[in-house]
Chain A
């Protein structure tokens, strides 16, 4: 029988725990994954160029409200970027607040980045580096309750990105005629819609809006069906969140770097 008066029950130092497992791996992986995404996205958003290749439009720049050159103007909704717009404002800056806000306020990401970036807590039963705590009970994090409004916008984006996939099936030939085809880029952009769909349509707020708010779902068969579908996707929300995050970045990488290097990548039927 050995006594250990030096070991205390109260975890007084930050990151102290009796856990023996590698508890730090998951928050570290989240930190690296999200940081890499944020750094790459910031670079691409402010680059303001190389977002179109043939019929492929990078999802970071979709919807393309304004073009930046004669080539992209043809694909834009409202023509050329106005001259009065500050130089830092690229077509991506105008729209990326919506998907960024959707992810930032997402219930899954909140839990993940509170741990990985704020150590609040670093992991379960691992002590925290700070004493005070307000949670999402007061400003600023009470703003997270805006999530459902970002969801509404994200659903519109999903439709727009689906239309981009359709447009990515029409290639111009040497005579300037448009022919139907499916290229690797088309599949990449289609994959993006599938993964973003799995993520957006499994959102906790959507689950609530479709049926979670109702206690008597048996009396609302259509909403019950919708609720069951959303719940099914919601059970793997974390997986969809990461798949869609990775794939949206990869789609941009494809349009920015791979497609120009490959040249003609489509198969015309």
Chain B
């Protein structure tokens, strides 16, 4: 038997409730939540889908750590005390373990889309070197679980959702900005409306990413450096003036 302390309620009134349930070898946290839902709390809301760590639906905070419930094995969690399970705190609560993540999709809508150069051949296709595409391939692994958004203190603690797009969309911006056939320039938006300067490199996003994307080192810092090139480096500015 193990005790699970689960957040129950909605935005108006909610609290932690303890449930005791049987656990067995090989179970993940989501299995335990499903068992509690089936046996003790039929009305408990929990979002899930693939149970394979690929859909990004079952994001939650397990003992204070943002994780996918389906990928967190119970043998990695201390069971001698209650296991707390909460919804993601960076987003408004809908019910129980389900948070409203729709803000993320609105952010994506306002970002400049992929703008490829004209096709390289008459059949409308492009030619790319593998090593050039390797640069951005890592970013395509994102499953949009939003754990990185949840752990980011700029969104979580300071609620700067209107001024900062968060690590997920900095990764998205990097995947477009560094793409070998993309022609768009997104640096002005990154500096101003996307608020890349708010990131203070805590690397929490990298630590929680279930796809092990090196978010800070490979996406955010390279974008910050590009923003420095464009806006803060006087010598680069001088070069641009003379190379026009």
Which residue of A1, A110, A115, A205 is within 8 Å of B40 (Cβ)? A1
A268 to chain B, nearest CB (A): 46
4 pairs of A and B residues whose beta carbons are closest in the complex: A18-B64, A137-B197, A19-B64, A124-B204
SS of B interface (majority): mixed
Interface centre among A110, A111, A131, A234 (most CB of B within 10 A): A111
**A156 interface residue (CB < 8 Å to B):** no
Taking a contact as CB atoms closer than 8 A, the residue among B135, B179, B198 that contacts A137 in the complex is B198
Whether A128 contacts B153 by the Cβ 8 Å rule is yes
How many chain-B residues does the 8 Å CB contact rule pick out?
58
Q: Are A213 and B225 in contact (CB under 8 A)?
A: yes
Contacting residue for A218 out of B78, B132, B221, CB 8 A: B132
**With an 8 A cutoff between CB atoms, is B156 at the interface?**
yes
Within residues 225 to 244 of chain B, which ones have a CB less than 8 A from any CB in chain A? 225-226, 228-229, 232-233
A110's nearest neighbour on chain B, judged by CB, is: B201
Q: Are A224 and B131 in contact (CB under 8 A)?
A: yes
Q: Are B199's CB and A135's CB within 8 A?
A: yes
Within 8 Å CB of B158, what residues of A?
Answer: 131-133
Q: Are B64 and A7 in contact (CB-based, < 8 A)?
A: no
Bound-state Cα–Cα, A124 to B203, Å: 9
Residues of A with C-beta under 8 A to B224: 145
For B136, the closest partner residue in chain A by CB is: A215
With A205-B225, A215-B135 as contacts: A115 and B232 at CB distance below 8 Å: no
A138 within 8 A of B: yes
| Contact flags B54-68 to A (C-beta < 8 A → 1, else 0) | 000000010111100
Name which of B14-22, B26-34, B45-53, B165-173 contacts chain A. Answer: B14-22
Task: Judge whether B16 and A4 touch: CB under 8 Å.
Answer: yes
User: Could you say which of A2, A4, A128 contacts B157, with CB atoms under 8 Å apart?
Assistant: A128
Q: Which residues of A contact B198 (CB under 8 A)?
A: 133-137
Interface residues of A in 116-133 (CB under 8 A from B): 120-121, 124-125, 127-128, 131-133
Enumerate 6 A-B pairs (CB-CB under 8 Å) in ascending A order.
Answer: A1-B18, A4-B15, A20-B78, A125-B65, A235-B217, A237-B217
Knowing A124-B204, A125-B204, A217-B135 touch, does A234 contact B217 (C-beta < 8 A)?
yes
Q: CB of B160 within 8 A of chain A?
A: yes
Residues 83-126 of A, flagged 1 when their CB comes within 8 A of B and 0 if not, give: 00000000000000000000000011011001100001100110
Interface flags for A213-239 (1: CB within 8 Å of B; 0: not) read 101111000001000000000110100
Interface residues of A in 13-36 (CB under 8 A from B): 17-21
